[in-house]
Amino acid sequence: MGMRIRIACCSLVYRKALRLSQAALSKTAVGQMVNLLSNDVNRFDQSVLFVPYLVAGPLQTAVITWVLWQHLGISCLAGISFVLLYIPFQGCLGRAFSKLRAKTAALTDERIRLVNEFVAGMRVIKMYTWETPFANLVDNMRRREVRKIQQTSVLRAVNMGMFFMSSKLVLFLCFVTFALLGNTLTSECVFVSMSLFNSLRLAMTLYFPFGVGQGAETLISVKRLQKFLLLEEQEQTGALSGSKLRPKIHNCRVELQNASASWTKDSAEPTLQNITATVKPGELLVVVGPVGCGKTSLLMAILGELRLTGGSAKALGRIAYASQEPWMFTGSVRSNVVFDSPYDRERYRKVIYAAAMERDLTLLPYGDRTLVGDKGVSLSGGQKARVNLARALYYDADIYLLDDPLSAVDTAVAKHLFEVCIRGYLKNKIVILCTHQLQFLKSANHILVLREGKMLGLGSYRQLMNAGIDFVSLLEEKPAMPANAEAVLESRRGSHGVDPFDGSPLVEEVYAAPVGSEALDAASPGAFYESNLSLAGSYDDARSDIYQSMSDLKGGEAAAKQPVETEETRSTGSVKGRVYWSYMRAGAGP
């Protein structure tokens, strides 16, 4: 039964972790979840064995007392009284076990959290040679944890000492009292009393203390599980529920009516206050404002991740979200872009072009089959941002929420992404863009200005200028555009200035360039490694490089290869004796 309870609790913790709201995630940590699954739930395996003795032990004591009274008379109470005094003593130990278990669990949570953070930031730690101070930090935390574990072990040692001592002491008290009362000991009385007291000893001095200790620790684990399971969950809204299975709708839109939202229920001031906006297909809403003004919170409210405290937020249609922090999973570039959607060659090619990834794919050793590594370790920040954007584009949604995808790329690429991707590829979609790139505001249909979670203005660029909102000084401070940036953009849009996505013959020529899966798969590992990996060069140069790559492949100079994941190595040998000796000495404590 203990195993079933443990498995059920693990399942509850897993499902709860997937439903936690953003406010609840700020109150917990990965270390606490790991500790719940690895330590707390294991208490049920032992507790179901010994906790029943908390009831069975006293009942067995009463029965044995009656039997001993028949053989020894009132003298049996001398030994039984010692056993009865053992019960309040165990109550005190139980409270001590509870306090130590609570402190140990908190220290374990903190240690696991630190270790997780250190492993995630191992590259930075190695780069700055911070191994020693961080190792000392973990070691100090572990010493504090071990100190509490040692105190718990001392209490358990007291229980075991009482177990081995109790049988002799109880018999001694009983027989001495029997003799002092003038009775004569017989073999019958001695052997019957010894067998009965031995039965009582197992129940009251071994299983009963174990039940007290395990019960106290299990109670703390239950409270920790209860606290975690009662954390706030995400509200089930229609924004994302079943969005993948829903067919596209024609009247898709985003509506915010006096929307106010807060990350926590007890927040004194809402994160967003009285936001009102409506975005329809073919419209671009640009959200601007200083850092921390609530741009990301606005997108979270539309997604249903942020709890509304007032008003309403509706998103009718399928939603694609490109987060500010790009996320990658171990796999190829193509698998990160396609994700779980079926592979469509033509759509994939358009997405690669719109996300300005063509030249990057020619530079990667295996094209779009290149493995990105854990968390995209083999890609630069700009490349990860564009892969993240391409994943959202490939989803082919109705509503696109883009959280500052232009900040991680250079100016030329940012202009390509805005003109070709946002204003071109997504021209018929609902696009909500959070950005600090104020030079693109004139091209937006609507501009939403936020400051401290409040809406300062909503309208077109000209309307906001007439309303007195000053964009001029901000636009004068925009980053300088490279001299050839305009030429780069024009070369990408076409020499005749046509829309790259209007189905013109020029578009067919662009998409006919060998940047699809076959060409990307066969890219030469030794070709095109230049110092500048950005798209600052002209698109014609990129296309000529691609054609050159194809000619090399046809000549057999660079055979297509499949990327191979580096397998973990394993060392073999014997462990020296001093290692075992050090382990045994460490077990004795400092």
Coil, helix or strand at residue 51: coil
Dihedral, 254, 258, 262, 266 alpha carbons, nearest 10: -150
Residue 333: C-alpha distances to residues 219, 358, 521 (Å): 48, 12, 11
Strand partners, 332: 371
Question: Do 40 and 149 reside in the same domain of the chain?
Answer: yes
- Asked whether residue 567 is domain-assigned, the answer is no
Coil, helix or strand at residue 38: helix
Cβ proximity of 524 and 556 under 8 Å: no
Q: DSSP readout, 194-215?
A: HHHHHHHHHIIIIIHHHHHHHH
CATH of residue 218? 1.20.1560.10
Residues 313, 271: Cα–Cα separation, whole Å: 15
- Asked whether residue 572 is domain-assigned, the answer is no
Q: Which residue has the tokens 């578009």?
A: 507
- Asked whether residue 590 is domain-assigned, the answer is no
Question: Do 262 and 210 reside in the same domain of the chain?
Answer: no
Question: Do 211 and 269 reside in the same domain of the chain?
Answer: no
Domain coverage including residue 257: 253-475+491-554
Question: Do 31 and 129 reside in the same domain of the chain?
Answer: yes
Coil, helix or strand at residue 228: helix
Question: Do 259 and 408 reside in the same domain of the chain?
Answer: yes
> What value does the CA radius of gyration of the chain take, rounded to a whole number of Å?
35
Neighbours of 140 (CB within 10 A): 11
What is residue 236's predicted lDDT score, i.e. its pLDDT? 60
Neighbours of 108 (CB within 10 A): 22
- Asked whether residue 560 is domain-assigned, the answer is no
Residues 389, 351: Cα–Cα separation, whole Å: 9
Distance of alpha carbon 323 from the chain centroid: 15
What is residue 327's predicted lDDT score, i.e. its pLDDT? 86
Question: Do 35 and 125 reside in the same domain of the chain?
Answer: yes
pTM metric for this prediction: 0.62
Question: Do 144 and 206 reside in the same domain of the chain?
Answer: yes
- Asked whether residue 586 is domain-assigned, the answer is no
Coil, helix or strand at residue 579: helix
Coil, helix or strand at residue 368: helix
Question: Do 225 and 258 reside in the same domain of the chain?
Answer: no
Question: Do 145 and 225 reside in the same domain of the chain?
Answer: yes
Identity of the amino acid at 4: R
What is residue 401's predicted lDDT score, i.e. its pLDDT? 92
Tokens of 44: 């049920």
Question: Do 97 and 215 reside in the same domain of the chain?
Answer: yes
- Asked whether residue 82 is domain-assigned, the answer is yes
Q: What is the total count of domains within the chain?
A: 2
Question: Do 387 and 277 reside in the same domain of the chain?
Answer: yes
CATH of residue 517? 3.40.50.300
With a pLDDT cut of 90, the percent of the chain lying above it is 5
Residues 47, 221: Cα–Cα separation, whole Å: 11
Residues 571, 296: Cα–Cα separation, whole Å: 47
Query: 210-213: long-range contacts (C-beta < 8 A, 24 or more apart)?
Result: 210/46, 210/50, 210/53, 210/159, 211/47, 211/50, 211/51, 211/52, 211/53, 211/54, 211/57, 212/54, 212/90, 212/91, 212/93, 212/94, 212/97, 213/93, 213/94, 213/97, 213/155, 213/156, 213/159
Query: Torsion-angle region of residue 513: left (phi > 0), alpha (psi -120 to 50) or beta?
Result: beta
Per-residue pLDDT tens for 242-264? 444 455 566 788 888 888 888 77
- Asked whether residue 311 is domain-assigned, the answer is yes
Residues 299, 456: Cα–Cα separation, whole Å: 17
Residue 103: C-alpha distances to residues 96, 141, 307, 544 (Å): 11, 12, 33, 66
Q: Phi then psi for 108, rounded to 5 degrees?
A: -65, -40
Of 412, 419, 415, 364, give the one whose Cα is nearest residue 387: 364
- Asked whether residue 471 is domain-assigned, the answer is yes
Residues 13, 78: Cα–Cα separation, whole Å: 50
Neighbours of 549 (CB within 10 A): 22
Residues 411, 388: Cα–Cα separation, whole Å: 18
Of 300, 422, 255, give the one whose Cα is nearest residue 354: 422
Exposure string (b/e) for 163-202, b if CB count within 10 Å is 16 or more?
beebbeebbebbbebbeeeeeeeeeebeebbeebbeebbe
Residues 199, 208: Cα–Cα separation, whole Å: 12
Question: Do 356 and 430 reside in the same domain of the chain?
Answer: yes
Strand partners, 310: 260
590 residues of the chain, pLDDT tens digit each: 888 888 999 999 989 988 887 777 777 878 788 888 888 888 888 888 888 888 888 888 888 888 888 877 888 888 788 777 877 887 788 888 888 888 888 888 888 888 888 887 888 888 888 889 888 998 999 999 999 999 988 888 888 887 777 777 888 888 888 888 877 777 877 888 888 887 777 777 778 888 888 888 888 889 989 999 988 887 665 444 444 445 556 678 888 888 888 877 766 678 888 888 888 888 899 988 887 788 888 888 888 888 788 888 888 888 999 988 888 888 888 988 998 888 888 989 999 999 888 888 888 888 888 888 777 788 888 888 889 999 999 988 889 999 888 888 888 888 899 999 988 998 888 999 988 888 888 888 888 888 888 888 888 888 887 877 765 554 444 444 444 444 434 444 443 333 444 443 333 333 333 333 333 333 333 333 233 333 333 334 444 444 343 334 333 333 445 666 666 677 788 888 888 888 888 877 65
